[in-house]
Structures are given as structure tokens and as C-alpha cells.
Amino acid sequence: GDSVTQMEGPVTLSEEAFLTINCTYTATGYPSLFWYVQYPGEGLQLLLKATKADDKGSNKGFEATYRKETTSFHLEKGSVQVSDSAVYFCALSDLGSARQLTFGSGTQLTVLP
């Protein structure tokens, strides 16, 4: 079945550091890929998405590129801020799976001033 493997946390960085959170996936079809973010005390919010190979999703300075050859969708940001502290979830939606989301385990990011 479908699965998402996500870099384990927690990750602690200093402000303005470079961020990478690794995500790889296994899917039977041609999935769409997503990053969701959960800020402290809040619900899940869509951060970015990519629907086909080589697409790059971007939002709020975060980027991720859909790499079919390596089945990866790594999240990157060039300069993190304290306000980026949150839990980040990689997810996929496979058309063959009624479009439910399959999530990774989540990565806790803490950015220190």
C-alpha cells in the first residue's frame, strides 16, 4: 500500500539557518504530494503541493520538488524564522485510494532566536 517516510525529529535550528526535511514515498499510482503544517495549538494547514513529476510547490519561502526518480518530496527553506516553529507533515494522495491522504509521521521543528 501507499506509505510516506519522513525525517524524524525533533529538529532544532537557529534563526536564518537552512532547513531540509526529507520525505520519500511509496505509491501504486501517480500521487499528488503535499506538505501540511501544524502550528502550536492550531489545526493542519496546507503549506504547498505538487501534482506531477518535476513540479515545484512553494509558499512562504518553503519549496519542495516532486522527484519521481527518487520518489522524494523534500521540504526546504533558505532562512528559517522563529515563527516557522511547528510540526510539518508530508502527505500523498493517490487517485487509486479514493483520494484519502496518507501522512508521514511528522517532524517537529523548533527555531531558536
Partner 1 sequence: GAGVSQSPSNKVTEKGKDVELRCDPISGHTALYWYRQSLGQGLEFLIYFQGNSAPDKSGLPSDRFSAERTGGSVSTLTIQRTQQEDSAVYLCASSSPGTGGTNQPQHFGDGTRLSIL
Distance between CA atoms of residues 27 and 98, nearest Å: 13
| 17: contact with partner 1 by CB under 8 A | no
Residue type for position 73: F
What is the smallest separation between the CB atom of 42 and partner 1, expressed in angstroms?
7
**d(Cα 6, Cα 19) in Å, to the nearest integer?**
14
Q: Characterize the bridge pairing of strands 56-59 and 107-112.
A: unpaired
CB of 28 to partner 1, least distance (A): 15
- Rounded least distance, CB 101 to partner 1, Å: 6
Binding residues vs partner 1 (CB under 8 A): 32, 34, 36, 42-46, 49, 51, 89, 93, 95, 97-106
